[in-house]
Each structure stands twice: as structure tokens, then as C-alpha cells.
Chain A
């Protein structure tokens, strides 16, 4: 098996400044020495409380953020320094209503990103048609995105994330804001990607979804991995994945980063 994503003792700190007169520096250890790998064709879950460091990890993997230290490799290349060899082969989707040009139509959004991924019109025009069909936006494709509902924007994001036919797709809370039909659609898309031999790394707060989709997962708490394995392994003797999760992150108390 080939590890297409590799994190070893990966760390990321943020330096923030507080106060106006007496400025104090504060260092947040958002990701505090995590190690995991993902093999080609896997659906891999990154679970954890708010502020656990999931988004930060995804940003480092998608060449958006420099690691403070540790190994961060995608497709065998360092995400900081060798990003040129990675970018055309991956893509990512961040949940929520961001990441689209609201004053453009869905089709124009996709066309523009196709240009940014340096695709040829012979390739992207038919693909855009298919993607719009796939995320059920075909009939609204030429309306401005600012007239879309939250879920429609989210579906447009999904289409955008697939514009370059990526080998690896990173998804940060992709089902946020989707209705049950949309969420089902997304799960089907993810499974189809896997059948095609693609790799998916996703985060979600919806545990049944993670359990249904993921081959393997890690649970992160305050920047550290507290458990990892198949959903069955993590569940262990607990009644459900949720029970196992709650006991791992310390039920009741919200995780606060150091």
C-alpha cells in the first residue's frame, strides 16, 4: 500500500497578541505533535472537538499553512516547499458559505476555477456539465451564487472541489448546512470517489456519518491524537462510537488548547 498522506510529529503554533497598551504574546499550540498516514483509496476521518486542530491540520496538508515543525507530506512531497508538485493533484472543500464568488453564477465560478487549475476548455466544459448535474445545480447553474441557499452554495463548493479531478480530496465539515438529501448525495459522491481509487480525508462532527463512511480515523483532542483506527477499533467495548468519543475527549468539559 502507498501512503499518500503522511504526518509525523506535526506541529503548528499560532502567535497571537493581546491588549493595546501592554501587549502580551500568546502561543497557541493548535497542532501538537500528531502522526498519522492515509493510504491511497482510503476514506479517512479527522474527528475532534471545536478547536482541536482539525482545520489547522487540513490547512497544512493542503499547502495553505506552514508547519511549525514535523513532517507533512502529500503524494510523497513536502507541503511546504514542494507545493508546486502537489497542488494540481489535490483539492479541498471547506464547509460553510465561503469559498465561492457570490456575484458570479455557479457555472462561471466553476469555469474560473477551471482556469486556475490550468485546464483546457475541451476538458472542463463537459466536466462542469457533469458536476453541476451531480450536485443537482444544473437548473440554477446560470443564476448568481448570491441568490443560492446555504446548501446550494455548499453543493457548489463540492463541485468546485472536484473540478480538477483530484487524486486526494480534503473536506472540512463538508456536510455542514446540507439537508438530509444533500448529505446523502455527498456521502454517495464520497463513496464513488473511493470506488474510483481516490483518497478522501474529511472532518465531521457528525459521528454516525464518520462511522458510515470512514475506513479509518483519528480522534484529535487539544492538538494531540487520543485514538486511531477503524471505527470498530475505536468503538471497542463502548456501545456506540459516540460513547467512545465522549470518553476519549473527556465528556462534559470542553477541550481547551494549551
Chain B
């Protein structure tokens, strides 16, 4: 029953998002540009693994951009379309509907990886080299989970405010930097790195890189895998608690619509 609700929300969201020019731009043009830029930077960076630096970097930035635009932006868009109030007042639990939207957007945004990969292969004719394919698959799945869990906390907080557009733009770059999507964490001062370690995508990204580059002790890989999963679970729990609060709060503060 609820699975059907989830699936139909995921479908609706993918249809909706894909039909928006802005989303298509973030999904396709964004990764192409990022891949080209990162490639140029790669050439003079002394980094070794092209796939890890360019494709993963551009792909992750792309995914995150899509999630920011959609999961945060969609709440505002629905607020202005008057559908936020409708989904809020429907018997289906609001948090599940929002979760469906986030999953839909995240799945769609995975395309950025493909786009960035294709760009790299076609434009620069590079060979893809993944040292530990099975680890990579696990890391990829965990990355999706970690993105979904962090977006769900963000989306839920944003329901409360009418200034979502602002916050969403504010969040995009810092998270990309803090989680080390492109640049290594070691470039950040230690006291800021503390924040990075509390963000689940940081660990997921690390797993991705390790599996691509290879040469990691399996025990280390699995320890970091566990950390990613635990952090994601903490986020999921947090958003569950937040939704409880927010379902009351939006009605007290009247932020469901703009009328």
C-alpha cells in the first residue's frame, strides 16, 4: 500500500523535475561543464586517478546540485503552486510523500554520473579504471542512501520557512566543499573538518574514492562503511523526529502556502 504511494510519488517527481528546464540544465549541462573544468584542473593538479578526481568530482557536484535545487526548491515550488497544502492535508503521511520526492530526485540525479562519465570518455578519450568494482557498487549504493538521508533532514527544515530558495542556494557550495566532493578534506583546517566528519556524504565519498583507487585494507573500508550507515541512520531518525514537530509547527506558523 505505502510502497505504491512511494512509487507513484517517485514517478511523479521524476516526471515533474525532468520537465523543468532548470533541472535538465543542472542534470546535463552542469556535469558537462564541471567535467571539462575539472579535467583542466586535473591536468595541473598532480592527482593520479582521473576517474576519481574528474568523473566522481563532477558527478557528485552534479548530484548534490540537483538535490539542492529539487528537494529544497520543490517544497517552495509546491508552496507557490498550492499543492503543498494538498499533500499536507492528504491522509498519506507527509513525511512519506516528501521522502518519495527526495528519492525520485536523487535517482534522477544519478544521471549526472553518467553524463560526466560520457563527457570524459567522449571528449578526452579516457579509460575508466575502477580498482575494486564490487566495493564501488556498495559505495555507490551507500552514497545514494547518505544523500537521501541528508536531503530529508534539509527538506524537512525547509518546510518551515518561506525563504527556502535562499537557504537552498546557500547550502549548495559549502556542503560540496565540506564533504570533499572535489577537493580533499585535508585542505580544510582541522576545526572545520569536524563538521565534515559529521556529514554522512563525506564518508560515502571517501568510500567511492577508495574503491576506485584501490589499495585500501578491507577492514578500513568496512569500518568507514559502517560509519556512513550509522550516520545516515542518525539522520533518518532525526528527520523522523523533526517531521513530528514540523507537522504541528507549520500549522501554527502558517507557512504551508503563500495566500
Contact = CB atoms under 8 A, between A and B. Distances in A.
* Pair from one complex: yes
Interface of A: 14, 55, 59, 62-66, 80, 83-84, 87-88, 92, 94, 96, 98-104, 108, 111-113, 115-118, 160
A103 B23 CA distance: 14
A55 B257 CA distance: 12
Main secondary structure of the interface of A (DSSP, over half): loop
Contacts of A63: 89, 251
A87 B12 contact: no
A103 B251 contact: no
B198 interface: no
A256 B10 CA distance: 45
B239 interface: no
B12 A118 contact: no
Given A65-B254, A113-B86, A118-B1, A102 B91 contact: no
Nearest to B249: A66
A112 B82 CA distance: 15
Interface residues of B, number: 28
Contacts of A59: 85
A206 to B, nearest CB: 20
A17 B85 CA distance: 23
Interface string B79-90: 001110111111
A104 B81 contact: no
Interface of B: 1, 4-5, 8-9, 12, 15-16, 19-20, 81-83, 85-92, 97, 248, 251-252, 254, 256, 259
A92 B87 CA distance: 12
A177 to B, nearest CB: 14
A105 B89 CA distance: 22
A94 B252 contact: no
B5 to A, nearest CB: 5
B5 A116 contact: yes
B86 A99 contact: yes
Contacts of B9: 112, 115
Contacts of A83: 89
A108 B15 CA distance: 11
A104 B12 contact: yes
A111 B82 CA distance: 18
Contacts of A98: 81-83
5 contacts: A87-B89, A101-B83, A115-B8, A116-B87, A118-B1
